[in-house]
A and B are shown apart, each in its own frame.
Chain A
């Protein structure tokens, strides 16, 4: 049988979301960013909100999120995405506005911005990628780096007496009265990716209902930064990250 006989519309089982651009992603093989981008694009497509969605990209590996998801984007300074999103949503109350931020961006340099945006209950969506490391700058320690974990700036492992313990930022966010939905998900398997997609959709729907801030953490892998193969990185994440960052809803009202 010739391959041309197989490539037919009736045999098609999967197609790329039209909200995803054709650019080849710069992410390392095995990185979680690509999967999360795809899920966001699918949610935007399925909700039919491409013309009404504005994304705020961070500083870090996902600074280039705008090269992959075909919507209007603003690229923020490191940590400041929630401030941009606040003004954008208040000036365009009928649009869908989301930030996409890593752990260095959201839980370190941008702690003030995320706390206050969530506390004000801005009707925005926050997608928080937690891979416990600074990826783009070459694998330095993040606020969410686990105890004992080796990074470029903790070469002998994170120590409590020097660096303090990992910051459980999502637990803090869940305490803020402005948030309506705070959840922690992952994308290392088909099942977990599907759950994350449902969480992202719910977050966007909350935004339209003006219920407050929706916060979706995705516990992610950075196999390059962790110096593991993609498969080993996922295994390491399940064994080490999940006990520290347990999956599930922290708040849903």
Chain B
């Protein structure tokens, strides 16, 4: 049975970054606009080598800067097209202005951040220090992005399609928050069936707000984040808030590994979640009832799932490749009911499962 299943699909060994590129072509992406930066350059390199303009008609363009890439997304998204970019931490900082404008004008797009260590030029090694930037804004004003955290090359592939689906569901930017480990790691990836690009007729039907050209049967479409009238602007803010609430109701995603009988729980996402899965296995062998909660959406955050588990838990530990960012959201969810500990490594150092287990034991034996 298993063999048959494998034969029905196409499996390829590839890097997480390559999976993003191949998935974009196979999922009907209309345009990619990017600028080279380590450790994600394989995304645009793969797209340029594949030359999808000859196969699906997808546009691929190397922009003059990340500032320009994100504004090309504003233009493409305004046309109702499926457009995306990818970058790494410093490049995403340059895009912050544009992301705020896209959120303000309610435009769907997909941005991939293959996170490296910071601040500043930092390091080209992996990191998770862009959690605040991704989940708490990054740009100016009250806005949120849908943030997806893949933990494998397969999820890099799958979240391109999911990211576009959610971006268009909410008319909002979606961000894949990956890291240098997931981007560079080679794994087996199953290629899902191809999805065609949308025709102009489909775009006009699905996205009647898009700038497809003003026809006599409708009023002009204007995509702007500007509203100088205070009441009009407050109404826009409230509409955005309602949208973010709906995301929290309908689109929280997470994976719960051995949490149902757990006394203690680790919360980790992305590459750290892969490591912590092994930590849980090691702890279980020692008779410690440890579980792992892996948030897949970092916004909306699985706050309710944490709150559901709190009554049975003695402690929670957040493990991150940062100085302690996601831990704040866990503490907000827990609201002081049980201790919430933190363990993190920086500079691109990824701790081993054993190191995390030692850190966990040290905390619970305090």
Contacts and interface: CB of A to CB of B under 8 A. Distances in A.
A70 interface: yes
Interface string A65-99: 01000111111110010011111101110010000
Nearest to B97: A77
A70 B220 contact: yes
A22 to B, nearest CB: 13
Among B33, B68, B73, the most chain A Cβ lie within 10 Å of the Cβ of: B68
Contacts of B67: 80, 83, 112-113
A198 interface: no
Contacts of A52: 213
Contacts of B75: 56, 74, 83-88, 91
A91 B65 contact: no
Interface stretch (B3-11, B221-229, B281-289, B291-299): B221-229
A52 B97 CA distance: 29
Contact of B31 (A74, A77, A91): A91
A38 to B, nearest CB: 17
A136 to B, nearest CB: 11
A75 B61 CA distance: 22
Given A54-B213, A72-B211, A91-B31, A86 B226 contact: no
Interface string B223-240: 111100000000000000
A142 interface: no
A72 B220 contact: yes
Nearest to A116: B64
B213 A84 contact: no
Interface stretch (B77-85, B158-166, B322-330): B77-85
Contact of B71 (A51, A57, A71, A113): A113
Contacts of B269: none
B63 interface: yes
Contact of B76 (A66, A73, A88, A95): A88
A92 B79 contact: yes
Interface in B24-57: 30-31, 33
B212 A72 contact: yes
Contact of B64 (A76, A87, A112): A112
A53 B211 CA distance: 9
Of A51, A88, A116, most B-chain CB atoms within 10 Å: A88
Nearest to B60: A90
Interface residues of A, number: 32
A180 interface: no
Nearest to B101: A77
Interface string A168-210: 0000000000000000000000000000000000000000000
Contacts of A77: 71, 74, 97-98, 101
A51 B211 CA distance: 10
A50 interface: yes
A181 B275 CA distance: 59
A146 interface: no
Contacts of A90: 31, 59, 61
Interface core residue of B67, B75, B212 (most chain A CB under 10 Å): B75
Nearest to B64: A116
Contacts of B68: 80, 83, 112-113, 116
B236 to A, nearest CB: 13
A75 B72 contact: no
Nearest to A84: B75
B254 to A, nearest CB: 34
Interface string B195-217: 00000100000000001111110
A195 B73 CA distance: 35
A73 B223 contact: yes
B309 interface: no
Given A70-B214, A87-B73, A91-B81, A63 B226 contact: yes
Interface centre among A88, A91, A112, A115 (most CB of B within 10 A): A91
Contact of A74 (B59, B200, B223): B223
Interface of B: 30-31, 33, 59, 61, 63-65, 67-69, 71-76, 78-79, 81, 83, 97-98, 101, 105, 200, 211-216, 220-226
29 contacts: A51-B213, A51-B215, A52-B213, A66-B220, A70-B214, A70-B220, A72-B212, A72-B214, A72-B222, A73-B211, A73-B222, A74-B75, A74-B78, A75-B105, A75-B223, A76-B74, A77-B71, A80-B71, A83-B63, A83-B74, A85-B75, A86-B61, A87-B75, A88-B75, A88-B78, A88-B79, A90-B31, A92-B79, A116-B64
Which 10 A-B residue pairings sit nearest by Cβ, starting from the closest? A84-B75, A75-B224, A87-B75, A83-B71, A72-B211, A80-B71, A87-B72, A116-B64, A87-B76, A88-B75
